[in-house]
Structure 1
């Protein structure tokens, strides 16, 4: 997404929320120091991988995790932070557990360690998915008013929720060994602040928690962006 200027001090890897690619978080990432490489995880069906099918992605979570690990293994060794929001947290934690030698610091936003109630559902009908989108905010109304894009976004979100649910169950069998930074919004209708507290028990290296004013996409609110970016930088130095 963005190469560092000069010799990089570290690397930030972005794991975006369900139904989205990493570029949607660009307003936040602009606040990261120029000394950091910024990379984005892009799953099938969005952004540069738009033409790739995503229906089978939930059935092959290991393919997702191994693919990310292989990409990271090709890069120079340097301090790394995983910044993950919402559904992206399940993916980031799965990669961290699969490759503990990377020692990537984790900044986990708006996602409980045991997943959300929505992810635990057996099926995700359109009504449920539209309610999630409405509660979370962040999706332009014109997208949902267009029949083609509405169907596409719902399908993508349905796939991502199923993938996250599988990864969460897998993640709960492991334990992290790196410090965590856990972030959330105080008015998030999808993930309550108290739902984030159990992260402290999921690592042997301690957890720092910070709550911001705002809803599920508090991190994109202009008033919060610089502070969230600073939390990512602080995590890199822990």
Structure 2
């Protein structure tokens, strides 16, 4: 398929825009995920909270754009669109791969002088997750995704759905598996809230608490009931914690 060039202007999807927002919540999806994952979160937020989500290339409204296979390129492409938003107090919330994308993007924004992002919420990802030296095969990716609960097994049994979804998920898994946070990266000025499920097979509470080393601001860690996608049944709680007063 011939796809259009990357257009970072399409990177932000606004799910709700109050007339005079007091706070903005910016959500970063998991591997294989899209901005639509957070569409229903408006009902969990105060009326004056703006809700936007990042749309990675290659899915939903950016389906015709090429997938981005490197973390640095993805974070670079999101920095300018997010810097261009009105400077209201802002919280970044990223789940799983999205936690790393949000962290890398915020490092770039702070380096550029952006100060209105007050909190980074990292969900479902340990701070010190090492890079994977050998990429997963397609079958290993499907097995992993099914085990984490992100996509039902029935989807992979449908040849058309598998053909449509697998390139996106493969790209994202290879991207995040090849990524390791630069140990020389400066600590964030924004505070960090780390969230994980108590039955997440990939993230222990200790791994979540290790995010404390990534910030010079306030830090908190909360463990909620559930597996890697604990935030689906606990969306209201996660939204409340993310947007609590600074």
1:127 is matched with which residue?
139
Quick check: 1:47 aligned with 2:98? no
The answer to whether the Cα contact below 8 Å between 1:135 and 1:189 also exists between their aligned partners in 2 is no
- Can you list the C-alpha shifts for 1:65-92, whole angstroms capped at 9, x where unaligned? 2221211222211101101000001110
Q: Are 1:29 and 1:229, in contact at CA under 8 Å, matched by a contact in 2?
A: no
SS at match of 2:242: helix
Work out whether residues 28 and 220 of structure 1, in 8 Å CA contact, stay in contact via their aligned partners in 2.
no
Specify the alignment match of 1:173 in structure 2.
184
The 5 A counterparts of 1:68-83 are 68-83=78-93
C-alpha distance in 2, partners of 1:187/1:121?
26
Distance in 2 between residues matched to 1:141 and 1:167, nearest whole Å: 27
C-alpha distance 216-27 of structure 1, shift in aligned 2 (>3 A): farther
1:6 is paired with a residue of what secondary structure? coil
1:140 to partner: Cα distance: 3.0
Q: How many residue pairs align between the two structures?
A: 228
Does 1:12 find its partner at 2:25?
Answer: yes
Cα offset for 1:29? 4.4
User: Out of 196, 216, 225, which is 2:235 matched to?
Assistant: 225
Q: For residues 38 and 115 of structure 1, what CA distance do their matches in structure 2 show?
A: 28
CA distance, structure 2, for counterparts of residue 72 and residue 162 of structure 1: 25
- Distance in 2 between the 1:113 and 1:140 partners? 27
Q: Is the 8 A contact 2:15 2:53 kept in 1?
A: no
- 1:113 match: 127
- Higher helix residue share: 1
Confirm or deny: 8 A CA contact 1:13 1:40 kept in the other structure: yes
Out of 152, 156, 161, which is 2:173 matched to? 161
Name structure 2 gaps, 5 residues minimum: 1-13
Aligned equivalent of 2:6: none
Is 1:65 the counterpart of 2:78 in the alignment? no
Q: What SS class does the counterpart of residue 111 from structure 1 fall into?
A: coil
Q: Is 1:36 aligned with 2:49?
A: yes
Q: Is the 8 A contact 2:192 2:219 kept in 1?
A: yes
After alignment, is 181-190 or 18-27 more displaced? Answer: 18-27
TM-score by length of 1: 0.88
How far off its partner does 1:197 sit? 1.9
